[in-house]
Amino acid sequence: MKRLDRTEIIFKILSYTLLTIFALCCLYPFIYVLSASISSKFAVDNGKVFLWPVDFSIENYKAVFNNKEFWISYSNTFFVTGYGTLVSMLVAITGAYALSKTRLIFGRGFNFMLVFTMWFSAGMIPTYQNFKTFHVNNKYMFIIALGFNAFNIILLRNYFSSVPTEIEEAATIDGATEFQILTKIYIPMSKSSIVTVAMFYAVARWNGYIWAQMLLLNSNDVLLTVFIKNNMAQLVDIINNGAEVPYSVYGLQYAFIVCSIIPVIVIYPSLQKYFAAGVNVGGVKE
């Protein structure tokens, strides 16, 4: 068994110590939010919650479950995340497959234009005006308008380019069409990268705020992040007007936050195994 020298031992101790501290710093906000959401109004408002719940209470969650607007925004977010990811993946997979082919006419020009959009951007105001011109004011148009991401297409294109051409040539000789080659060869062989890109899109849709706040002005199309922010302002106004509620304003917001991240916590562990492989293989072009 190989013995470790003193320098290596010190390095390992320091690295593990720093990683542990970093992990605890990342974990603490979540623990605090969860603890505050199930603590009493008095404990939260008076800053008595530091780590564990104080005076256990479920009043915050009663208010959450009885809030109709919360469930509307929750369902809207599921809709935008689910269908938005599907539309974006359809664009990304087909675009990446075409751009990965050297036989594509003007392929170098198309690839350059794709990368060019990552170097230079028109800015938020021109983009907003463009969205308004095309009447992006509901969740259906919202899904289409945000269905394109150059980085994710490049990530998939790089992976598709690494698939051996001999496999495609053999399939072509057997009479396979382009659609069959894509669906029967490239997609199955690129599962890790496809899942990784799908996760990028899903997280962006689920956590999206700026464009949802600016474009989705109809109360029936409000997304969860926008609802949580707007609800906080409404609650503060209610408290300032002297109204009495059985829950803490901040405790209720923490309960909203906990409910909003449950789907991510449930789904992410099952996809994590694809994440490292997808980024490492799709992000490197030999």
Query: DSSP string covering 67-120, please?
Result: -HHHHHHHHHHHHHHHHHHHHHHHHHHHHHHHHT-TTSTTHHHHHHHHHHHHH-
CATH 1.10.3720.10 fits 59-282, yes or no: yes
Looking at residue 88, what is its pLDDT? Answer: 93
Nearest partner of 257 among 60, 27, 56, judged by Cα = 60
Among 66-75, 138-147, 235-244, the range scoring the smallest mean pLDDT is: 235-244
Q: Tens digits of per-residue pLDDT, 95-140?
A: 888 888 888 888 888 888 888 888 887 788 888 888 888 888 888 9
Residue range 239-272, pLDDT digits in tens: 666 666 677 778 888 888 888 888 888 887 777 6
Domain extents for the chain?
A: 59-282
Average pLDDT of 199-204?
A: 89
pTM attached to this predicted model: 0.80
Residue bearing tokens 């980024």: 279
Q: What is the mean pLDDT of the chain?
A: 83
pLDDT at 280 over 70: no
Label residue 238 by pLDDT band (50, 70, 90). Answer: low
Query: How high is the pLDDT of residue 89?
Result: 93
Give the Cα separation of 201 and 186 in Å (integer): 20
Asked if pLDDT for residue 85 goes beyond 90, the answer is yes
Residue 84 CA to residue 78 CA, distance in Å, equals 9
Number of H helices, E strands in the chain: 15, 0
